Amino acid sequence: MGKATGFMEYTRQENREILPEVRTGNFLEFHEYAAEKERICQAARCMDCGVPFCQSAMKLKGMVTGCPLHNLIPEWNDAIYKGHDTHALMRLLKTNPFPEFTGRVCPALCEKACINGQYGDPVTIHDNELYIIEKAYEKGTMAALPPEVRSGKKAAVIGSGPSGLAVAYKLNRRGHEVTVYERDDRIGGLLMYGIPNMKLDKKVILRRQKILEEEGIVFKTGVDVGRDVTVEELKKEYDAVILCCGAKKPRPLAASGIEDVKGVYYAVDFLGDVTRGVLSGKIDKKLTSQVEGKHVVIVGGGDTGNDCIGTVIRMGAADVTAIEMMPKPPVDRREDNPWPEWPKTLRTDYGHVEAIWKFGDDPRVYETTVKEVISDKGVIKAVKTVKVAFEGGKLNAVSGTEKEIKCDLLLIAAGFIGAQDYLPDSAGIERTQRGTVKTSDEDSYATNLAGVFTAGDMHRGQSLVVWAIREGIHCATEVDRYLMGYTNL
């Protein structure tokens, strides 16, 4: 423990955010990172608990609290406090191969389990993690480490999202030759085209790609497995094939009048198109014209819905309405939701903050859904909403609560319902009722095809980046055992 009284001497100070009036003028990352002196004080708040819940990933009442990667959080907090930056990096990389991703986009399950949060404010674990990895890049200690010995085995990873990258990273470190196939023009999956640039600068992904390539991983972009090449063809060339294609089949909106109407987009498609424009230096004028000065309605209250809010504000939307089916959460914990359970409380994220600044009100409307899309000559003009309530475990519309809202652009961020059909169907791979790829149990990664495995959202369903990384790590262990007859991963 770095400083026995640190948690009493220092108050929690998160990385500061650039003011909304400044940051909404561009798509750059909007956090200002604390200097070393301040970060040392924040690390000193860690109590080095005898039983550190922060790294335990406990499931309480069906929800996980604590880090799914079991990061050695007290150890690297202590190293930060003592100025042992390289040691902190080694302890962090031991469990998390991509802290530059989780340090930006993870909702910090670890902090929700921090004992300092029981009666006060938790340690800034999320910011401390990002400090370690960015300091390592700055100092040059974050460098490629190619394996000294190759196994002679070859593996193909399909999909370069967080789970695919984690599988590739671990198998390559073991000495296997790894090739990653990605259907898009750049690697990263949802890291690249599902998360906006202001939340995860794409330079961060390209920086890591360079290191992975120096370590021996081969990336083949623009190759759509299941269409351009079959799984059967890959099995003839590789000793193992791992499917990490995500759960990209979007959940449709059950609203009348929505078919074949212009101005309706699935959120991830919209965010991907915007990111492509940001990367090229100019967002497509046709896309911009659908947002600038227009009334935008977003369906879905999760991270993707929030990302859509921040994106359309930067593109000049006239106003934004965010529709959420669930009731508004309480501001403070209820008595039946005690620490260290995941706090079921109101979360006001960066997009909501920006909307409040821009339009004067929180854009979220709770216990509501879109009942009907109103169009004129095939172009959306408005949506008709209705209040909903859960009765007997079912969601029912409340009669007499219909309301019409002007809408020039409708973004559907209602989640996903499993993997896209064409790859599993073309390969004869079994799936579950949830649309995910089937394995014998949740801790197994082998599909019904010999030598073919799966991981990430394609296996567990839509989830967090940190869970995808965990899946990739565990899947790599199973693949290694299949290839070698044993594993030391």
- For 41, residues 6+ apart whose C-beta sits below 8 A from its C-beta are 6, 10, 13
Listed residue (200, 232, 245, 208) closest to 426, CA to CA: 232
- For 30, residues 6+ apart whose C-beta sits below 8 A from its C-beta are 17, 18, 23, 198, 350
- Sequence ranges of the domains in the chain: 6-139, 154-248+417-484, 264-412
- Other CB atoms within 10 A of residue 62 CB: 7
Which pair of tokens denotes residue 467?
Answer: 């869970």
Listed residue (229, 296, 304, 221) closest to 264, CA to CA: 296
d(C-alpha 384, C-alpha 404), whole Å: 4
Helix (H) / strand (E) containing 181:
strand 177-182
Q: Which CATH architecture fits 6-139?
A: Orthogonal Bundle (1.10)
Instruction: Give the model's pLDDT for residue 138.
Output: 96
d(C-alpha 30, C-alpha 147), whole Å: 37
- For 342, residues 6+ apart whose C-beta sits below 8 A from its C-beta are 60, 63, 64, 65, 109, 112
- Other CB atoms within 10 A of residue 322 CB: 25
What does pLDDT average to in each consecutive run of 10 residues of the chain (489 residues)? 87 97 97 93 93 92 94 96 96 98 97 94 97 97 96 98 98 98 98 98 98 98 98 98 96 94 96 97 94 98 96 98 96 94 95 98 97 97 96 89 98 96 96 96 95 98 97 98 96
d(C-alpha 277, C-alpha 363), whole Å: 26
Q: Which CATH architecture fits 264-412?
A: 3-Layer(bba) Sandwich (3.50)
pTM of the full structure = 0.96
Instruction: Give the model's pLDDT for residue 437.
Output: 97
Which pair of tokens denotes residue 356?
Answer: 């409040």
Which pair of tokens denotes residue 326?
Answer: 């669930």
Which pair of tokens denotes residue 228?
Answer: 């351009």
- For 259, residues 6+ apart whose C-beta sits below 8 A from its C-beta are none
Instruction: Give the model's pLDDT for residue 1.
Output: 67
Q: With contact defined as beta carbons under 8 Å apart, do 428 and 449 qualify?
A: yes
Q: Name the H helices within 140-260.
A: 162-174, 190-193, 202-214, 231-237
**Cα 422 to Cα 224, 226, 255, 419, 426, distances in angstroms:** 10, 6, 26, 9, 6
- For 227, residues 6+ apart whose C-beta sits below 8 A from its C-beta are 422, 426
Query: Quick check: helix, strand or coil at residue 69?
Result: coil
At the topology level, CATH places domain 154-248+417-484 in: FAD/NAD(P)-binding domain (3.50.50)
Largest interatomic CA distance in the chain: 70
Instruction: Give the model's pLDDT for residue 395.
Output: 87
Distance of CA 78 to the CA centre of its chain: 28
Instruction: Give the model's pLDDT for residue 325.
Output: 95
Listed residue (283, 320, 326, 343) closest to 415, CA to CA: 326
Radius of gyration of the chain (CA): 23
CA atoms within 13 A on the CB side of 148: 0
Q: Tell me whether strands 295-299 and 409-412 are parallel, antiparallel or unpaired.
A: parallel
Judge whether 154-248+417-484 and 264-412 match in fold. Answer: yes
